[in-house]
């Protein structure tokens, strides 16, 4: 069963998102798409900031919310790039959409830094690349972001495998990572039909990239890596 199905409905777009637990039907125009994407991004940002106190309470260690937000931005941009290029066309509307989500971190700037300035890209330059080069870029992206992704997942895992309450913030196992991934999927799903031509392939690309960027680090932590004082994940 497809995660997302998109079909035109007069001058609006109808989206049916299917998950194991729910079916949600939405109709909206392009401005609604941008607004809903901004809402999902704000929710993810607030979740990451709320995690600050919880992480310190669980592990006794400091936590840099700004660094995690920058990492989230870069991971999200990688996911959105995979969605935008899934149909072989990275059009200007999609480029503008991706640019909105570089509030704290810039994937292309990071690529330039880690390449020692040898790889200087912009979204419009990527759009003009041959399809096989874009495919190669998407294939190597998880490796480029490997260190940032591991650092991003670590604090999420630390709080997700505990039960904590700090003020009004309550966490149970899996809450933080699940919440942030849902926000990323929402944003990616909205990008998939911002040009009114969304496809299941685009959503599958988003899910696959999220898995590649986060999944292996999550599995490493599940294997029993210590998270901090008194905190260890046991499968």
Match 């040009």 to its residue by tokens: 195
Query: 153-157, 187-191, 210-214, 215-219 — which one is most confidently predicted on average?
Result: 187-191
- What is the residue-averaged pLDDT of the chain? 75
Query: 90-104, 146-160, 217-231 — which one is most confidently predicted on average?
Result: 90-104
Q: How far apart are CA 101 and CA 48, in angstroms?
A: 15
Q: How far apart are CA 43 and CA 51, in angstroms?
A: 12
pLDDT tens, residue by residue, 133-145: 998 998 898 888 8
Q: Between the CA of residue 92 and those of 121, 145, 213, what are the distances in Å?
A: 15, 25, 25
Write the DSSP assignment of 94-112 as a string of letters. Answer: HHHHHHTT-SS--HHHHHH
Q: How far apart are CA 203 and CA 36, in angstroms?
A: 17
Answer whether 51's CB lies under 8 Å from 65's CB: yes
pLDDT tens, residue by residue, 27-47: 457 788 889 999 999 999 988
Q: How far apart are CA 233 and CA 57, in angstroms?
A: 17
Six-digit token string for 187: 């944003």
Q: Tell me: pLDDT of 163 over 80.
A: no
Q: Indicate the SS3 state at residue 228.
A: strand
Angle at 204 between CA 199 and CA 208, to 5 degrees: 155
pLDDT at 164: 47
Q: Tell me: pLDDT of 235 over 70.
A: no
Q: For the CA atoms of the chain, what is the radius of gyration?
A: 18
Query: 122-126, 192-196, 214-218 — which one is most confidently predicted on average?
Result: 122-126
pLDDT band at residue 154 using 50, 70 and 90 as cut-offs: confident
Match 């599995």 to its residue by tokens: 219
């Amino acid at each position: 069963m497809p995660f997302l199905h998109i079909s035109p409905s007069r001058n609006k777009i109808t989206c049916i998102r299917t998950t194991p637990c729910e079916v949600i039907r939405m109709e909206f125009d392009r401005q609604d798409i941008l607004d809903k994407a901004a809402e999902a991004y704000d929710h993810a940002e607030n979740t990451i900031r709320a995690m600050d106190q919880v992480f310190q309470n669980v592990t006794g260690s400091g936590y840099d919310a700004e660094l995690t937000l920058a990492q989230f931005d870069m991971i999200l941009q990688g996911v959105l790039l995979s969605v935008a290029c899934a149909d072989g066309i990275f059009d200007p509307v999609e480029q503008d959409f991706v640019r909105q989500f570089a509030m704290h971190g810039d994937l292309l700037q990071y690529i330039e830094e880690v390449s020692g300035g040898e790889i200087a890209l912009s979204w419009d330059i990527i759009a003009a690349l041959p399809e096989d080069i874009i495919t190669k870029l998407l294939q190597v992206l998880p490796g480029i972001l490997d260190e940032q992704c591991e650092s991003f997942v670590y604090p999420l895992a630390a709080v997700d495998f505990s039960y904590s309450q700090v003020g009004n913030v309550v966490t149970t196992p899996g809450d933080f990572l699940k919440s942030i991934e849902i926000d990323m999927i929402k944003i990616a799903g909205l990008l998939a039909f911002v040009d009114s031509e969304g496809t299941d392939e685009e959503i599958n690309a988003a899910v696959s990239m999220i898995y590649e960027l986060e999944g292996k680090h999550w599995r490493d932590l599940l294997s029993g890596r210590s998270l901090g004082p008194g905190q260890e994940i046991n499968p």
